[in-house]
């Protein structure tokens, strides 16, 4: 089954404790992206990647890091989480040149205390 898998689904952590949210897709998609969703603001793009070892900033990259060492994986790293990073996070993937129709993971709800 074609899917984008995020882990964990729920995470509660404390300020400053480094964490990683994993994202994996099994569709051989070149493009992967991370979004955060906050009430009233819709989805805002954090980082995206157009292929292995190619990453770029989205609209709200501050406080986040990503890496793309393998085509299927695109982890999101919060080196020193802060309460304003409490949010619902989504990973998505798509095939380049196919009009960027994106497939989303189920989401990771993060609370930073």
Partner 1 sequence: SQQGEEDPQALSIQEGENATMNCSYKTSINNLQWYRQNSGRGLVHLILIRSNEREKHSGRLRVTLDTSKKSSSLLITASRAADTASYFCATAPNDYKLSFGAGTTVTVRA
Site for partner 1 in 26-45 (CB under 8 A): 31, 33, 35, 40-45
Site residue total, partner 1 (CB under 8 A): 28
Integer Cα distance of 50 and 61 in angstroms: 16
Q: What is the dihedral of CA 92, 46, 36, 49, to 10 degrees?
A: 10
The answer to whether 4 contacts partner 1 (rule: CB under 8 A) is: yes
Q: Out of 1, 53, 62, 99, which residue is the one contacting partner 1 (CB under 8 A)?
A: 99
The dihedral formed by the CA atoms of 5, 42, 112 and 15, expressed in degrees to the nearest 10: 110
Nearer to partner 1, 80 or 100 (CB): 100
- Report angle CA 25, 30, 31 to the nearest 5 degrees: 85
Per CB under 8 A, the list member of 48, 68, 78, 93 interacting with partner 1 is 48
Q: Does 104 bind partner 1 (CB under 8 A)?
A: yes
């Amino acid at each position: 089954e074609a899917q984008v898998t995020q882990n964990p689904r729920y995470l509660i952590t404390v300020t400053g404790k480094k964490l990683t949210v994993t994202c994996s897709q099994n569709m051989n998609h070149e493009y992967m992206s991370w979004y955060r969703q906050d009430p009233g603001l819709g989805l805002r793009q954090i980082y995206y990647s157009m292929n292995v070892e190619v990453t770029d900033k989205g609209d709200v990259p501050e406080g986040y890091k990503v890496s793309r060492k393998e085509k299927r994986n695109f982890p999101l790293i919060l080196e020193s989480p802060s309460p304003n990073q409490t949010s619902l996070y989504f990973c998505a993937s798509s095939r380049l040149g196919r009009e960027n129709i994106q497939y989303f993971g189920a989401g990771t709800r993060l609370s930073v205390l």
